Structure 1
């Protein structure tokens, strides 16, 4: 019997229990995922749909949920575990997001941008815990971020609306929202059209409205030479009270890695 029902908002990261010979299908943005439990095995298959094809997230159980032509991975057991859980993780490399419009921040001003990035879905069985596979909801292209081909790091490339208001955020539970607090304490106008979000250093949380969030980032720009002060922040007590942590950061922060990631994110 399934432990999760269709609800609004749909929390796809809650545990699900399946009877033998039962199947589960879920769409998470452009990712269409299929799981089937048999007496001595679990079957897992997925496909990544194009932006024009993907549907709103939903879940359903069906007698036949593996589409013809879709190859399934098999996981064998003496007796198959009865339940599974899907967990959102952030990507394993920083995401360089390009704003759809150039942004300019006058001297002395402080702003907060809300920037989202796609998550990876970890499929795992429960009791006992058994990770099966990590699946990205969408494939991002690679990009190099740094002042030269010798200095920098390999990242993923994405685009963002860089919204300023929480009220403008769409419900997209296949993307995690990062609050980016920026303070321009230099004497010059600060212009930016790209920002590197170090997602491996951020935890993932779920909110009551069905959105995914990360730890915030705080950046302070002090001169034309680059960003000199920055840190990952923490959600406020009020925010933590309404959110649940779903996964910790992949990597413990390293100060030198952060300098390399952020020093050249701005163009003056």
Structure 2
């Protein structure tokens, strides 16, 4: 079982000391000199997934590693590590096509890659973020409009006991309700991790739970905000982008590819109000009770 207790602290290094942190396939080295710090990291995919350790060594900087240099205007003797999530959206594809039968509710568990945020000084800003393992790139959208994402395949486990205790993964629970009389086929999901908090559980790292209710091809789907679980000990890393609550339907920042098309919204609270002409739906977006704006969301019939 991974033990993160020693990782999320402020670590003091003397000049000439090296912090070595190992999380799953990642080995991270941070070496301190007087006013500059050096960071090196490498990945070995055959390493034990549960590996999670940290130690401070008194040793010279090994020139055999590839280092990056971070220069400060004053001497600082401490470095801090925090858990983080990838800096782009993630296109998650199941290993095989998943279909939810009509009037059924399921919960999937998806393992997202853990990143480590590094900051220098007791209250320093994040200098660099390092992935515990590298994902391949993917493109979402048309040739003229879209975004660069990461690609990830998932087994989408239904039972928590089936998940391995991998130190380099953060568990994202996704609750899906198919309220329609149709089958609901999942091809891929686009998750925007910048809106997710990270929580420390008793055995794993977690994000908030995403919820989606599918009401059929015409009505579309409604997303709800992540909610805390009792086993979580509060967020140890809050998202950089906060979503404000409101009195309308709270929609979670997720894009889902269905057999009937795709729907996208960008992290504000949204409510589906009426269909519009063409291949689209109108979403009413609200960042609170006072203000409301409208945004067009395209649905593809291909």
Q: What TM-score comes out, normalization by structure 2 length?
A: 0.73
Residue 205 (1) aligns with residue 195 (2): no
Q: Structure 2 regions of 5+ residues with no counterpart?
A: 261-302
Aligned residue for 2:99? 104
Contact in 2 for aligned 1:153/1:261 (Cα 8 Å) = no
- Structure 1 distance, partners of 2:45, 2:160, is 24
Name the SS for the 1:191 alignment partner: strand
Match of 1:266 among 229, 249, 258: 258
Give the Cα–Cα distance (whole angstroms) in 2 for the partners of residues 158 and 77 of structure 1. Answer: 36
Partner SS for 2:27: strand
Question: What pairs up with 1:234-253 in 2 under 5 angstroms?
Answer: 234-236=227-229, 238-239=230-231, 242-253=232-243
The structure showing larger relative contact order (alpha-carbon pairs under 8 Å, at least 6 residues apart) is: 1
Between Structure 1 and Structure 2, the one with more helix by share is 1
Task: Name the counterpart of 2:299.
Answer: none
User: How many residue pairs end up in the alignment?
Assistant: 253
Structure 1 portions without partners, runs of 5+: 1-6
CA displacement, residues 144-180 of structure 1 (integer Å, 9 cap, x when unaligned): 334x445654321101111112222222232211110
Select the structure of larger CA radius of gyration: 2
Moved more, 66-75 or 135-144: 66-75
Indicate how the Cα distance of structure 1 residues 82 and 98 shifts in structure 2: closer, same or farther if over 3 A, else same.
same
Supply the distance in 2 between the matched residues of 1:184 and 1:251 (Cα, whole angstroms).
29
* 2:138 counterpart SS class: strand
Q: Which runs of 4+ in 1 moved over 6 A?
A: none
- TM-superposed CA distance for 1:128, in Å, is 4.5
For 1:209-264, what per-residue CA distance to the aligned partner results, in whole angstroms no more than 9, with x for missing partners? 2x21111111111113574211222113x23xx42312222324499xx79952x5
Q: Residue 59 of structure 1 corresponds to which residue in structure 2?
A: 54
TM-score computed with the length of structure 1 as normaliser:
0.82
Q: Secondary structure at the match of 2:137?
A: strand
